[in-house]
Chains A and B, each alone.
Chain A
Amino acid sequence: MKCFSRYLPYLFRPPSTILSSTCHTEADIISTVEFNSTGELLATGDKGGRVVVFQREQESKTQPHRRGEYNVYSTFQSHEPEFDYLKSLEIEEKINKIKWLPQQNAAYFLLSTNDKTVKLWKISERDKRPEGYNLKDEDGRFRDPSTITTLRVPVLQPMDLMVEATARRVFSNAHTYHINSISVNSDLQTFISTDDLRVNLWNLEITDRSFNIVDIKPANMEELTEVITSAEFHPQQCHTFAYSSSKGSIRLCDMRQAALCDKHCKYFEEPEDPSMRSFFSEIISSISDVKFSHNGRYLMTRDYLTVKVWDLQMENKPLETYQVHDYLRGKLCSLYENDCIFDKFECVWNGSDSVIMTGSYNNFFRMFDRNTKRDVTLEASRENSKPRAILKPRKVCVGGKRRKDEISVDSLDFSKKILHTTWHPHENIIAVAATNNLYIFQDKVN
């Protein structure tokens, strides 16, 4: 398998952080990462409601080893904490998801969301500034019109590049429950936002109206047995979307069938193995992330212990199942106690849909090659990251004699978890968020 044998690690922290990496504020914890559709930009959102966008440097002939580093491009405060006075609830500013819109002009657009509100941000560059106003002097103070004797035409002068972000749309007041995902349609005109019980369809231009297309709220809340955990549009079919549930099932819906997509087209679920039943069966089968493959033929789902690849044509069982960290199966009780069992791991496809990646604990992340069936465990940590060094595969020792390089299950640090990762759409570049640090790894330079 094509391993990440050489990498150029970058450690990014939000510019406002002045503390060392071992001591960080809660607000700096990265809560989402996303490459844009060309891979030129990388956005991160954090618990403090900030978005930091990185841009890849143009490749330079004079410095070929600095192959496309990512540098901070723009930082802005996307969401602020709010208080819902009617329900006496505080609304967290944490950015749950960021989704890029494909670039259509010089500016970049992205959607960012917290628990209740989705915002469309425009990120644009300004490298010229008008100078030579008649009524204003260079400081901006107004001139007394009576002192003006001649007129001149202002000219645009070059200035230092300034990147500014402006909120172009605010999509609010459509969700009673917490938004867990957003997804832009391939028609580039609509998007969906999903909370625990409902999926709403929006037009990017219209903020005062949204259509509810899925509603699983029971008439009597006591009868609630499952919630929606994630939803995504099909990458090519603009009428198709999928949503995952806390019961471990995925439903594929066609918006052409009915206005309210309560009846699914396809229902993907693997029957539970009764011999594996435990107190925590329901928790570990809850799906935390669902992603269509780039070619639109497969679905990938992540539950607590596994990643599964589903063929859209086969509903009764997954095509492939990969064990991420099965050694945790015997520790579910203590993971329940410290709340780690509720961690929501994400999963990603590489550009060619041949490799899938997901995170784990101890700052480990795992990659599975679907073709060779080989897998690797890598670690995102300062100590192991020297510039241009090779990432060494890691191994967790499950029992018996521990080899020198292995880590025993009991030494794993469960406070260091990799929940969010993203893969460049075309190249082998990955971004991995480890608490408040962002690691960017690249494949070996040939």
Chain B
Amino acid sequence: MEVDRGAMECAVDAQSLISMSLMKIHSSRTQRGGIKLHKNLLVSYVLRNARQLYIKEKYAEIYRMQQYEEVMAVCSGIQELDPLEPLEPQGAEDAEPEQPVRAAGCGEESRAAGGREPEPPYYRSCCMEDQFSQNCNKTTVLDLDTHVVTTVENGFLHQDCCCAAAAAAPQCAPGAAARKRKVDSAGCSPDAEEPSDYTAGRKRLKREECSGADCSPDASNISNLISIFGSGFSGLLSRQADLEQVCSKQALASLGAWTRAIVAF
């Protein structure tokens, strides 16, 4: 979906539209006269559009990351000229901050955790800006695939939700929170994370995270609403939504509440 960003007078990023839309849906429940079906349907369209753009950009980032990892592997092999050395950058103790964080967090936090200047194309992030302002002190990122809300504060990554993620990555060094997401994606398991296994690793991680029950109330509310719209109004979704289906079982359970509200009234 092409977005005519030039026509937008304010800095529209998918994220702010998503949160705005969710707030509208939430507040419509308490409005006088009952839920307005028409307005909520239109809001859900905006939500879908923003989400599609967000996912599209994230996929692009992942694709770029994959390519980068391949290049890195080849480069390491060429440099070391030692076939016995492990190629994939698994060790969490090693500071590899230039590895792009998977879809979560501002470019800022990776720089803070490590040293090397990140390459701009890898850092789509929530800021959606080319220059990385030093004043980017707090950003909230919503991962629509895993329904995890992540807040980055002053360069430090703070996981709001799904503490099960910590359980999923036991080998990660405690101080390397900034790279937690990345390590998860690369796989904390001893298995070499080939690019082809990348998707499998993500899927496994998502299942673990989705079963985590100790989310903070706000984040879980947002997660639920996201889940609902991840699977709800299915007529609006494209077929591309397969990746979300992994997490959909739990999402579908909470889905009923919203659609029941519509049908019942």
Bound pair (A, B): yes
Q: Name 10 extra pairs, CB < 8 A, besides A225-B235, A277-B3, A329-B7.
A: A89-B34, A178-B38, A222-B233, A223-B233, A224-B37, A224-B233, A226-B41, A227-B37, A332-B8, A333-B8
Of B45-53, B72-80, B151-159, the stretch lying at the interface with chain A is B45-53
Of A56-64, A334-342, A386-394, the stretch lying at the interface with chain B is A334-342
Closest residue of B by beta carbon distance from A342? B39
Closest residue of A by beta carbon distance from B47? A279
B4 on the A face (CB < 8 A): yes
- Give 3 nearest A-B pairs by CB, closest first: A282-B45, A92-B33, A223-B235
CA distance A90 to B259 in the complex (A): 20
CA distance A296 to B37 in the complex (A): 31
The minimal Cβ–Cβ distance linking A76 to chain B, given in whole angstroms, is 22
Which residues of chain A are within 8 angstroms of B39 by Cβ–Cβ distance?
A: 342
B42 on the A face (CB < 8 A): yes
Q: Scoring B residues 7 to 40 as 1 if CB is less than 8 Å from chain A, else 0, what string do you get? A: 1111010000100100010000000111011110
Q: Majority SS of interface residues in chain B?
A: helix
Asked whether, in the complex, the Cβ of A89 is within 8 Å of the Cβ of B8, the reply is no
Which residues of chain B are within 8 angstroms of A334 by Cβ–Cβ distance?
A: 9-10
Asked whether, in the complex, the Cβ of B46 is within 8 Å of the Cβ of A177, the reply is no
B1 on the A face (CB < 8 A): yes
Closest residue of A by beta carbon distance from B33? A92
For chain A, residues 267 to 305, give those with C-beta under 8 angstroms from any C-beta of chain B: 274-283, 286
Partner of A177, one of B37, B53, B233: B37
Q: List 28 A-B contacts (CB under 8 A).
A: A87-B264, A90-B33, A91-B33, A91-B34, A92-B32, A92-B33, A176-B265, A178-B36, A180-B38, A224-B235, A224-B262, A227-B37, A246-B38, A275-B2, A277-B2, A277-B3, A278-B3, A279-B53, A280-B46, A282-B42, A282-B46, A330-B7, A330-B9, A333-B8, A333-B9, A333-B10, A336-B20, A337-B20
Asked whether, in the complex, the Cβ of B32 is within 8 Å of the Cβ of A277, the reply is no
Asked whether, in the complex, the Cβ of A336 is within 8 Å of the Cβ of B46, the reply is yes
B192 on the A face (CB < 8 A): no
For chain A, residues 178 to 224, give those with C-beta under 8 angstroms from any C-beta of chain B: 178, 180, 196-197, 218, 221-224
A331 on the B face (CB < 8 A): yes
If A196-B38, A222-B235, A286-B42 touch, whether A279 touches B9 (CB-CB below 8 Å) is no
Closest residue of B by beta carbon distance from A337? B20
CA distance A379 to B2 in the complex (A): 37
If A87-B265, A246-B42, A334-B9 touch, whether A279 touches B20 (CB-CB below 8 Å) is no
Which residues of chain B are within 8 angstroms of A339 by Cβ–Cβ distance?
A: 24
Closest residue of A by beta carbon distance from B256? A222
B263 on the A face (CB < 8 A): yes
The minimal Cβ–Cβ distance linking A327 to chain B, given in whole angstroms, is 11
CA distance A439 to B36 in the complex (A): 30
Interface residues of B (CB under 8 A from A): 1-4, 7-10, 12, 17, 20, 24, 32-34, 36-39, 41-42, 45-46, 49-50, 53, 231-236, 255, 259, 262-265
| Inter-chain residue pair count (beta carbon < 8 A) | 109
Asked whether, in the complex, the Cβ of A178 is within 8 Å of the Cβ of B37, the reply is yes
A229 on the B face (CB < 8 A): yes
A115 on the B face (CB < 8 A): yes
Which residues of chain B are within 8 angstroms of A229 by Cβ–Cβ distance?
A: 38
If A90-B32, A90-B34, A91-B33 touch, whether A278 touches B233 (CB-CB below 8 Å) is no
Q: Scoring A residues 306 to 328 as 1 if CB is less than 8 Å from chain B, else 0, what string do you get? A: 00000000000000000000000
Asked whether, in the complex, the Cβ of A278 is within 8 Å of the Cβ of B4, the reply is yes
CA distance A337 to B20 in the complex (A): 7
Which residues of chain A are within 8 angstroms of B234 by Cβ–Cβ distance?
A: 222-223
Which residues of chain B are within 8 angstroms of A223 by Cβ–Cβ distance?
A: 233-235
If A222-B232, A224-B233, A342-B39 touch, whether A279 touches B46 (CB-CB below 8 Å) is yes
CA distance A115 to B4 in the complex (A): 37
Partner of A221, one of B7, B32, B262: B262
The minimal Cβ–Cβ distance linking B21 to chain A, given in whole angstroms, is 9
Which residues of chain A are within 8 angstroms of B263 by Cβ–Cβ distance?
A: 221
CA distance A334 to B20 in the complex (A): 11
Asked whether, in the complex, the Cβ of B8 is within 8 Å of the Cβ of A278, the reply is yes
Chain B CB count within 10 A is highest, among A180, A334, A336, for A336
The minimal Cβ–Cβ distance linking B37 to chain A, given in whole angstroms, is 5
